[in-house]
Structure 1
Amino acid sequence: MKNLLYMLFGCMLLITMYGCNKTQTDFKNLLGNQEVVYTGAVKAVITQPGNLRIGLKWKSSSDPSIVKYVVYWNNKADSQIVKISTKTDSVRTTITGLKEFVYTFTIYSFDAKGNKSIPFEVNNIKVYGPVYAGTLLNRAYSGANPYRNNPNGSVTLNFTTPDTINIKTVIRYTDSSNATIEKTLLPDSSSITLPNYKQGTKIQYQSYYIPERAAIDTFVVNRFDDFPDIVLQYVQCNKSLFKSISLPNDVHADFGTSFEKLWDGSVGPQSYPNIFHSNESKLPHHFTFDLGAVYNYLARIEETGRDQSHNPLDFEVWGIADISNAATTLPGTDPGWTAEMKAKGWTLLKECVRTDDGKQAMKFDFIGNPPPVRYIRIRVKTNTSGENYSNISELTLWNLQ
């Protein structure tokens, strides 16, 4: 037994001595007498999906020997070389010609001798394309309150909160000069106002999206959608702003009455003195008043006569936005009065003709697409009595918005 132990100890001693005599480079015999050298590996990659392409970005390696990177995909059947000519903080490349698919990319770094790094894999990277684009819908408008007409002739469109990847929505419309206008609604806004919108024309909209926040491409819905038709509503003009003004040859309120009775809110034919009663002045004669605000689509007037006589049966309604140079010099009876009114910038909104006794309230619609109006001139041509007076209980006007 002792002899056996001595033999084992001697063998172990010989093995140890032989191992100590091996050099550290003897493993080269197993590698063709060459040492394995690894370049600095990629550590983290930012992916930027696009339309049938992908952007890749990673931080530059501190290894100064690296001269290029190679990106492989499709099980290394496809690759792209990214050469490094100057030192930068980051490396970027865009791979094009891809299919709409989920990819794995493998990246190696190389030095000038062909030594490469260990691989770095980027998995489950989605590339977008026509299939994704086909799923996109234009941003939804507010179903409960899609729009609002404004007194200044503009229209405000209301939309719901968009998806977080919505970039913008383009609104296309026609303005009052028949020009095609495009405005952009950003995702953080829920409404947009279209100035000088031409009533009755189509409004269309188209939305843009990105598939992910870091995406390098924007996708657009493949069509414009029609916004709901803008329907104008009659909104009564604010009578509290009305006031009388006097231009040359205007009649005035007489017999203890006042112009203010024309817009005091009374309903139905009124009795004296709760009326406007003009002074005696040969027909046709006229009077003027201020609406107190500019209306871009003044559309309707309602006239209520007195409970007795002198009610207008044929009268004209004229309008203008500014009376700075609008005063006329001719009396309403002059044949040249109409021409002078037009020359001064007034627009005939309506000639109102009644075939009754002129007492009850009666509405008359103005011309379509009127100019902006703030000042009204009423020219009474005939009345029920044939005398040179005008009696009116109430005037009400409406703007379309």
Structure 2
Amino acid sequence: MKKIINLSFLLGMIFVLYSCMKMEDAYKEYVVPDGITYPQKPVNAKAYSGDGRVVLKWKKGNDPSIVKAVVSWNNKEQEREFDIDGNKKDVEIVLDNLEEKNYSFIITTLDSKGNSSIPVELNSVVYGDSYKSSIYNRSLNIAYLDNEKLVLEWNTADISNGLKYTELYYLNKQGEKQTLKIDAYSNENNIITDYRVGTEISYKSFFIPDTTCVDVFETSQEANIPLTIIDRSGWSITASSYEETGQTGYGGAEPERVLDGLIENTPNAGLVPTYWHSRHSGDSPGYPHWLAVDMKKKINIKRVVLQCRNDPNCTTGYPFSNFSILGSNDGIEWTNLETYDIYSRSNTAPQYYPVDVKESYSHFKIIMNQAYDNGKYAHLAELSILGIEQE
């Protein structure tokens, strides 16, 4: 029995000594053998970058004696002193009006007797005019109208400077200002169905240069008027061939049909074919086929717009699978601009094909290079252009 009591007493003493050691560990960073007291240093201290400023945050810890904090930088040539609220567990200090550069900050806490804690060092960066001059709006490749729907095609965002998103501003059909947020990582086209046709759109981009930055930087707004289909009323057109009399029995399928704005046989169209068709009676030429347009003025072409037949006699859509676009300023010498495969053979909606050239042309030609299914004939319902008229 005596041995059991002695063993229990020994274990109890070990526990007391261990507890004392733990308490001593908790305070030994504040007390040294000669009696000097060190207030508790900042706990979990972090620095956050910003626009002309840095924000410092830390946990105050368990030491109730702390009343101030001193932050120094530039080899202690500069420093600021801040009061610490003893009732708050979290400390937040803002150092503003700072020069744009990298910094190393030294933080010490003080008690009411002027004793200083062990210093804590934090590194951060301040952004300013130099950074602001390096950021630009995400570039808008093209904005255009597709049957009163606004289509926006953005170029790939350069995220190296911290681009996060772009905001687009536009008026809806009721005249109310709307905002659309486009993530920097999104490369999808934006299609807006409630855009008020004829009104200006604008946009600007927003940047966060690093993961610790507390400020969002924004660019100046850019304005844009969406492109619409170029007026075709003065255009003239020729073709490699066309069906003069035989097409559906209504009097031919001349190339002018692709400029009439109609895509099917309707009473409004006078029950005539509203598409061009290559000649298929008598001498029937095969591929390639072409249509050449004189626009009468120079156009910086941005999109070529095709639309296939949509009538009971044509259920397959486009007869040609590949085509080229050429430009000219005299209708004689031609420059190849782009070559494409048809996006979707059976899609009867307008299909938009991009033209990436800086030059402007008064003439353009579409050459249909090859057919689906080794076919011989070609036809097309509508041919138009999105672009910018030159003065």
Higher relative contact order (CA 8 A, sep 6+): 1
What TM-score do the two structures reach when normalised by structure 2?
0.49
